[in-house]
Amino acid sequence: MQSFNGSADLDALLTEVQAAELLNLSTRTLQAWRIRGVGPPFVQAGRAVRYRRRDLVKWIEANTVSTMRAALGTNRPLP
C-alpha cells in the first residue's frame, strides 16, 4: 500500500491502480463507485481516468468517522 507523504505533490494525477492502492481498495470498487456516482472525484480525459491526490486526501478526511455513534448517525446510547 502506498502511504501518503506530506511532501508529496497534492496535485499529482494518479492512475486508477495508484488511487486504489492509496485508498487500500480494489480497482473494481473504484469503478463501481464511478458508475454509481459515489466515491472520490476523478478526472476523465477521453477513456483515461485519473484521481488527483488532493481529492483523495480530502475524500478520506470527509469520510473519516470518529465514533460508532457518528457512523450510526445517532446520539442514543449504543446497545
Q: Is the pTM of this model over 0.85?
A: no
- In this prediction, residue 1 carries a pLDDT of 46
Neighbours of 27 (CB within 10 A): 15
Is residue 37 in a domain? Answer: yes
Domain of 35, CATH number, reads 1.10.10.10
Q: Is residue 30 part of a domain?
A: yes
> Is the predicted pLDDT of residue 21 greater than 60, yes or no?
yes
User: What is the side-by-side strand order in the sheet with 43-45?
Assistant: 13-14, 48-52, 43-45
The residue-averaged pLDDT of 10-32 equals 96
Question: Looking at residue 33, what is its pLDDT?
Answer: 97
Answer whether residue 4 is part of any domain: no
Model pLDDT, residue 56:
97
* Residue 22 belongs to a domain: yes
Q: Domain range for residue 34?
A: 13-67
Give the number of domains in the chain: 1
57-79: average pLDDT: 76
